[in-house]
Amino acid sequence: MRTFGLSEFLFILDAARWTVALSMIAFAGGAIGGLIIALSKTSDNRALQLLSGGFIQIFQGTPLLLQLFLVFFGAPVLGMNINPWIAAGVALILNTSAFLGEIWRGCIQAVPSGQWEAAQALSLPYVARMKYVILPQAFKIALAPTVGYMVQVIKGTSLAAIIGFAEVTRSGQIINNATFQPLIVFSVVAGIYFVLCWPLSLLAARIERKQAVALAR
């Protein structure tokens, strides 16, 4: 039987790059999707509002694990060949889009109404109004919660282990099955996530504190 040594540790650590890669894909895709959702939800178009609202309700009202399963087991039904990489990527992007969309909707609506009115008074068309007036201000408000949400994205990638994607959690399982030393194995796994997530949590808290000070002035 193997015991937990340096090579086992490196095996798990090596898988961290897949966790990071999957997180980045989910975040990048989710940011694009989230922006579309947030803009639809804040638009004047009733159909777009309903559509984005339904999207958010469905993805925030069902477990991420089930979303992952639906993509993973649903794609072959639609005649697509799919591997855990794509399934995990697609499910995480959709889920992240819904959550970031809802966060950013709040930030867009938090921009004082005087700014909207000023932009309208200057007769700026929609794109210019959003691009030059609303979104830059919403961005500042959104920074802290977005960085905070990145932590959720990284943690969410762990579920890809259940459909067999070999990221940190899955590698931990594999090593645990070989060594039967769950205490040390899962401590290492948890430690890797902590090292990835904690700096982001601290950063989010720091941005929030700074902005609170700026607002108090």
Partner 1 sequence: MNYTFQFDAVFAAWPLLLKGTWNTIELSMMAMFFGLIVAVVCAWGKTGGPRPLRWIINAYIELIRNTPFLVQLYFFFFALPALGLRWSAHTAALVAMVINLGAYATEIIRAGIESIPRGQIEAGLALNLKAHKIFRHVILKPALRTVYPALTSQFILLMLSSAVVSAISADDLTSVAANLQSQTFRSFEIYIVVTVIYLALALAFSALFRVIYQRTLDYPAGR
Chain residues that interact with partner 1, rule: CB under 8 A: 57-58, 60-67, 69-70, 73-74, 77-79, 151, 155-156, 158-159, 161-162, 169, 172-173, 176, 181-183, 185-187, 189-190, 193-194, 197-198, 201
Question: Is the Cβ of residue 133 or residue 159 nearer to partner 1 in the bound state?
Answer: 159
Shortest distance (Å) from residue 195 CB to partner 1: 9
Shortest reach from residue 89's CB to partner 1, in Å: 17
Task: Please give the Cα distance from 70 to 64 (Å, whole number).
Answer: 10
> Quick check: 4 and 175 in contact, CB under 8 A?
yes
| CA dihedral angle for residue 81, residue 90, residue 127, residue 208, rounded to 10 degrees | -170
Residue nearer to partner 1 on the CB measure, 20 or 197: 197
Helix (H, G, I), strand (E, B) or coil at 61: coil
Amino acid residing at 176: N
| H or E element that contains 124 | none
How far apart are CB 207 and partner 1 at their closest, in Å? 17
Task: Specify the residue, 144 or 161, whose C-beta has the smaller distance to partner 1.
Answer: 161
Q: Where are the alpha helices (DSSP H) in 4-134?
A: 6-42, 46-60, 64-77, 84-110, 113-121, 126-128
Structure tokens at 47: 């159909």
Cβ proximity to partner 1, 120 vs 187, nearer residue:
187
Cβ closest to partner 1, residue 40 vs residue 169: 169
How far apart CA 187 and CA 170 sit, in angstroms, is 14
Least Cβ distance, residue 4 to partner 1 (angstroms): 12
